[in-house]
Each structure stands twice: as structure tokens, then as C-alpha cells.
Amino acid sequence: MTFTSMNDLSSLAIANADLADVKGKVIFFRTDLNVPMADGKITDTTRIDRTAPGIADLAQKGAKVVVAAHYGRPKGARVDAMSLRPIAPALADAVGREVTFIDDCIGSDVATAINAMAEGDVILLENLRFHAGEEKGDANFAQALAEGIDLYVNDAFSASHRAHASIAIIAGLVPAYAGPLMAAELSALAAALETPQKPVAAVVGGAKVSTKLAVLEHLLDKVDVLIIGGGMANTFLYAQGVDIGASLAEPDMADQARKIMASADQHNCRIILPVDVAVAKEFKEGAASRHLTIGEDALDADDMILDAGPETVALAVDALNAAKTLVWNGPMGAFEIKPFDAATVDLARQAAILTRMNGLISVAGGGDTVAALAAAGVGNKFHYVSTAGGAFLEWMEGKTLPGVAALLGQE
Ligand code: AMP
């Protein structure tokens, strides 16, 4: 099954309609509360804020909502620093209801808490990954999670590339539904790659070709223009015989890069590589940089290409101008260190303008990409920005996500 065809999505919508009748039902609400923390304080509540309306809505309809999530990688052991306890007050604020924290996610304390719940109550279970059965996708653990549960809701797209017990296994034990955030994410992703308005443009940047090879291969068949930026563009330039000095690149991926270029030709997919670049001799904030035109200006042996140049951005903007849909993952350069954020920031701002003025359907995702768009001040100006990292990439690779397949398998 390929995931998120329009038919699949309409069955999810039907399933969601059933979620209206939840009064008195005990709902296991699997979500993503993996928020960044420093010194015991949450530094970014985006994930909590995004899932809270779904919880509030079910509670408002009289459901008893049992919220479950993972935090960090405790590897099957109880690690105090990875407890969800400090998240409970922030969740309560965002949901607008009291949230009772339970010290485990299975067992007698959980059963007692569920029995004592009134309609509209919300409880938060302890980190699912304190039990090894979660990441193993253990059937007995999933059965223990399903104890006393009437319905299952998955609102955690970002964890749905894992065949974990609370994601893929429990969905087969009780009636399962997509939560509102999951449904919104799936329809945005379907609009971008499954049934997109054409022409479709993709921006793929970031450090390495090797981590995004599957993404590139899948996109060739789906998009009309592929804009390649970041360190991975260096590998493509190298593969074409361009001297890239001391730039980050993967010479052993040159063959793969040439294969991708050849395959793009066959698929009528235009590839845009940097035609001009910013180079520096140091990888640090404010390093002295020079602007070079590829094919005209020579790099010194110790020059590093750290960003695409303005002519490259202009080419990319032309392509976006002609496009109806944009999918974006990965920065155009070393965007964390100024001035090498320029191409990423400029292109992101232009994409935001085209989203508003041209109706460009712009979808972006991945941890670095979210940070880059936020730094460009356009985090909320795209059609949809997914905070999912690995799940977003696997979706861009065309993979079936186990958590989504489990929901569709219910139909
Ligand atoms: P990824 O995690 O694959 O999306 O890669 C993102 C990382 O690639 C960021 O930390 C960027 O700083 C880095 N990056 C992008 N372009 C370059 C470049 N030209 N040279 C070195 N690092 C880069």
C-alpha cells in the first residue's frame, strides 16, 4: 500500500467523523511531546501547542483522554531526566484543563487512574520508552497499553515512521483513528507530493547526499524541478568535474550523483545546481567570504563553499515562480553561521511571498529546515511546515509509514 493516496485520506476523514461520538469513552491519545528542555524548563512548546487542541476537543466532547508519549531515548529503562512529569503543567496550560500525571504507562496505577476518570478528564502517562516493549513493538506491551481503552487516536505523525507498540501495534487492538494534527499533516503532505498541482518544485539541501539519496531518487519521478543546495550540492559539482577546493563533499558518492543527473534527464526533471557560491577559508561566524561564479572563477585549495550565491537563488526563484507546489527539506548552505545563511533566508522569503501572492502550495519539513525557516522569519508563512524530522524524510522517500499504515488498515 502506498500511503496517503486521496482515497486513503478520505477514509481517514470518515474515521475521524466517528470521533465525534466519544462521550464517556476512554481514549488512548498517542502524541509527540518531545519538546526541547534546558535546566528542567521547556524551551519551545510548539509540539505541545499543536497537539493540545485535539486533546481539548475530545475532553470537551466528554471523552476520558489518556495522553501517551515518549521522551528522548531512555532505551527501556526508567531515566528520571527523561520523565514526562515536567511536561504535565505545560500540557494543562495548553489544553485548558487539569492534567493528572501518572507515574507509569501500564499496570495497576494506570488502571486505577483510568477507573477513577470522569468525563472530560485528562491524564498523562509516563514516558512509553521506559519500557523496552515500546521500541520493540512488543505485542504484550501493546496489550497492556490497551487495557481499559475504548479507542486509539494517533496524533504523532513525527513518530509514525516507527513500528513501535504505541504507534503500530496497539492500533490493531482497538478501533483506531487519526488525530486532527495527524490528519492535517497527511492532507498537507498528500497535496504536496501524492496529488499535487503541477509543476512541482523541490528544494533539497543539507550536508550529505548519502543521507538523502533515497529522497532524491524518489523525487525525480515526482517533481518537475529539483533545486539542490547545501553541502550535497558540492558533491554534485565535484561529480561534474568542478574544483570544489576544501568544501564538504562525499567524493565516493560522485557516481551516485551522476546517476541521479542522468535519471533526472530521463524523467524530464530539471536539476538546478549552484551557478555561483560564497566561499570562505574558515567555517565560522563572520568569516571573510568571497563570491565566485562556477565555471569562471577558480577556488583556492583551502576555499570551502559554504553557501549558494544570489544568481543561484534567482534561478531557483524563477523556478518557484513557475511552480504551483513546493516541497522543501534542508538548507541551501551552512545557515547557522552568518553570512552563509543568505541563500536559505532569501529563498525562504521569496517562497513565502509566492505562497501569499501566487498561491504556491509550499510544504516544508525536517528539524534543520524548520529552524532555517524560523530564522528567516517565515515559519508561519508557508502552507504547511512539518516539525517531523525522520518521518518527514521517510515520507519524502515514498515509504509507507507503519503508524499511518496501521490507521489505514482499520478500514
Ligand atoms: P541535514 O541535516 O542533512 O539537513 O544538513 C544540515 C546541515 O548541513 C546544517 O548544519 C548546515 O550547516 C550544513 N551545511 C549546509 N551546507 C553546507 C556547506 N556548504 N558546507 C558545510 N555544511 C553545510
Rounded Cα–Cα distance for residues 304 and 327 (Å): 27
Is the separation of the CB atoms in 363 and 382 below 8 Å?
yes
Residue 233: which residues within 8 A CB-CB, separation 6 or more? 205, 273, 274, 305, 308
Q: What is the mean pLDDT of each run of 10 residues along the chain (411 residues)?
A: 44 60 96 92 91 96 98 96 96 98 98 98 98 98 98 96 97 94 90 92 95 94 97 97 97 97 97 98 94 96 98 98 97 96 98 97 91 92 91 92 86 37
Q: Does residue 71 contact residue 126 with C-beta atoms inside 8 Å?
A: no
208 in catalytic set: yes
Whether the link from the prior residue into 402 is cis, omega within 30° of 0, is no
Q: Which of 335, 345, 347, 397 to mutate to test the pocket of ligand 1 (most atoms within 8 A of CB)?
A: 335
The question of whether 50 is a catalytic residue gets the answer no
Q: Which residues pair with 265 in a beta bridge?
A: none
Instruction: Report residue 87 as a C-alpha cell.
Output: 511536561
Q: Is the CB of 206 under 6 A from ligand 1?
A: yes
pLDDT of residue 12: 58
Identify the pLDDT of residue 5. 47
CA of 230, closest atom in ligand 1? 16
Query: Cα–Cα distance between 222 and 226 in angstroms, integer?
Result: 10
Grid look-up 568569516 returns 287
> Is residue 180 lining ligand 1, measured as CB closer than 6 Å?
no
3-state SS assignment for residue 336: coil
Pairing assessment for the beta strands 325-329 and 289-293 based on DSSP bridges:
unpaired
Q: How far is the CA of 369 from the centre of ligand 1 (A)?
A: 10
Choose the catalytic residue: 62, 367, 379, 398.
367
Of 47, 129, 162, 212, the active-site residue reads: 47
Per-residue confidence (pLDDT) for residue 193, from 0 to 100: 87
Looking at residue 194, what is its pLDDT?
86
The H or E element that residue 99 is part of is strand 99-102
Ligand 1 centroid distance, CA of 103 (Å): 40
Residue-level pLDDT at 68: 98
Q: Who's near 181: CB < 8 A, 6+ residues apart?
A: 31, 50, 51, 54, 155, 157
What is residue 2's predicted lDDT score, i.e. its pLDDT?
A: 37
* Cβ atoms 71, 77 nearer than 8 A: no
CA of 171 to the centre of ligand 1 (A): 37
User: How far does residue 207's CA lie from ligand 1's centre (Å)?
Assistant: 4
For ligand 1, say whether the CB of 246 is within 6 Å of any of its atoms.
no
Q: Please indicate whether residue 365, judged by its CB atom, sits closer than 6 Å to ligand 1.
A: no
DSSP SS3 for 38: strand
18-176-4 Cα angle (round to 5): 90
Structure confidence at residue 110 (pLDDT) = 98
Angle between the 310-322 and 342-357 helix axes, to the nearest 10 degrees? 20
CB-facing half-sphere around the CA of 339: CA atoms within 13 A: 13
Q: Which structural domains are found in the chain, ordered by start?
A: 26-183 (3.40.50.1260), 196-396 (3.40.50.1260)
Cell 504507562 sits on residue: 105
Q: What is the pLDDT, as a whole number, of residue 409? A: 75
Amino acid letter, residue 360: L
The secondary structure of residue 327, as a DSSP letter, is E
User: Hey, is 354 helix, strand or coil?
Assistant: helix
Ligand 1 contacts CB of residue 211 (under 6 A): yes
Pairing relation of β-strands 304-308 and 276-280? antiparallel
What residue has cell string 533526472?
264
Give the E-state strand segments of 185-324 in sequence order. 200-204, 225-228, 270-272, 276-280, 289-293, 304-308
CA dist 146 and 253 (Å) reads 46
- pLDDT at 21 (0 to 100): 87
CA 319, CA 201: separation in Å to the nearest integer? Answer: 7
Query: How far is residue 59's CA from residue 57's CA, in Å, rounded to a whole number?
Result: 5
Nearest residue (CA) to ligand 1, atom 5: 206
Please tell me the number of Cα atoms within 13 Å of 408 on its side-chain side. Answer: 19
What are the DSSP calls for 206-241, one per residue? SS-STTTHHHHHHHHTT-SEEEE-HHHHHHHHHHTT
d(CA 388, CA 404): 14
